[in-house]
């Protein structure tokens, strides 16, 4: 017996919006699975639709093209990773700025270690995909903005904001390079070791522009 349909748009016990959300989720899950198994270049409309068991009509109802889907997956991974940083920067009562900085770095790296698909999306090779390359560049800018907002209240006397931003860009650039190399396997290390590398580097740069309270 076929599912019942009503004039209110409910079909098989689900509303039109619920069915649309379920189809979108299937397409995203299929795209992510293909990306992780074969690389971003293997993600095509036909491959995604075949894996999701949907027609191209439903694909184009959700995404303008494959790059739109890839960008959506990347954005979701980035949102999940950044969500752990803000609480760590805020810290808890009694934490020093240095402890909060270390906590934010540790939280971010731990998230990547426990969510390897997110790590690969964010820091994997995006050569040839303009959408992903642009987003990886944007990630650096996001990182600079976050760290700058956190560290600016602790600037040492006489340190200009331009100098601070240059050092912040250096810190974020180095951190991103480290995480990309770690994700690809070029740099081995446990979570604790990568956190130690990252925090040592960031603190060395911070020492030249912020008050001793942040780095001691």
Taking a C-beta distance cutoff of 8 angstroms, is the pair 154, 211 a contact? Answer: yes
* Per-residue tokens: 110: 């731990």
CA 207 to chain centre: 27
Collapsed DSSP state (helix, strand, coil) of residue 11: strand
Nearest-5° Cα angle at 119, 116 to 122: 150
* Per-residue tokens: 57: 């009509």
Report the greatest alpha carbon distance in the chain. 78
Predicted pLDDT of residue 215: 57
Predicted pLDDT of residue 50: 98
Taking a C-beta distance cutoff of 8 angstroms, is the pair 197, 178 a contact? Answer: yes
What sign for the dihedral angle of Cα 91, 95, 97, 98?
negative
Per-residue pLDDT of the chain (216 residues; tens, 9 = 90+): 445 454 456 666 778 899 999 999 999 999 999 999 999 999 999 999 999 999 999 999 999 999 999 999 999 999 999 999 989 988 888 888 888 999 999 999 999 999 999 999 999 999 999 999 999 999 999 999 999 998 888 888 888 889 999 999 999 999 999 999 999 999 999 999 999 999 998 888 888 887 776 655
Collapsed DSSP state (helix, strand, coil) of residue 5: strand
Supply the pTM of this predicted model: 0.88
* Per-residue tokens: 113: 């270690």
Predicted pLDDT of residue 211: 76
Predicted pLDDT of residue 161: 87
Predicted pLDDT of residue 119: 96
Predicted pLDDT of residue 85: 93
């Amino acid at each position: 017996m076929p599912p019942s349909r009503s004039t209110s748009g409910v079909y098989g016990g689900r509303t039109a919006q619920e069915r649309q959300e379920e189809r979108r989720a299937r397409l995203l899950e299929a795209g992510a699975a293909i990306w992780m198994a074969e690389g971003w270049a293997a993600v095509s409309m036909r491959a995604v639709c075949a894996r999701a068991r949907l027609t191209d009509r439903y694909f184009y109802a959700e995404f303008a093209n494959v790059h739109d889907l890839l960008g959506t997956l990347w954005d979701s991974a980035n949102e999940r990773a950044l969500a752990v940083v803000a609480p760590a920067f805020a810290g808890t009562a009694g934490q020093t700025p240095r402890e909060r900085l270390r906590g934010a770095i540790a939280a971010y790296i731990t998230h990547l270690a426990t969510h390897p698909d997110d790590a690969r999306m964010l820091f994997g090779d995006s050569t040839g995909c303009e959408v992903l390359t642009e987003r990886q560049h944007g990630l650096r800018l996001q990182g600079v903005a976050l760290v700058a907002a956190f560290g600016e209240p602790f600037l040492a006397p006489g340190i200009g904001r331009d100098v601070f931003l240059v050092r912040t860009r250096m810190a974020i650039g180095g951190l991103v390079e480290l995480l990309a190399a770690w994700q690809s396997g070029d740099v081995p290390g446990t979570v604790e070791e990568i956190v130690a590398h990252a925090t040592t580097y960031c603190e060395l740069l911070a020492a030249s522009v912020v008050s001793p309270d942040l780095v001691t």
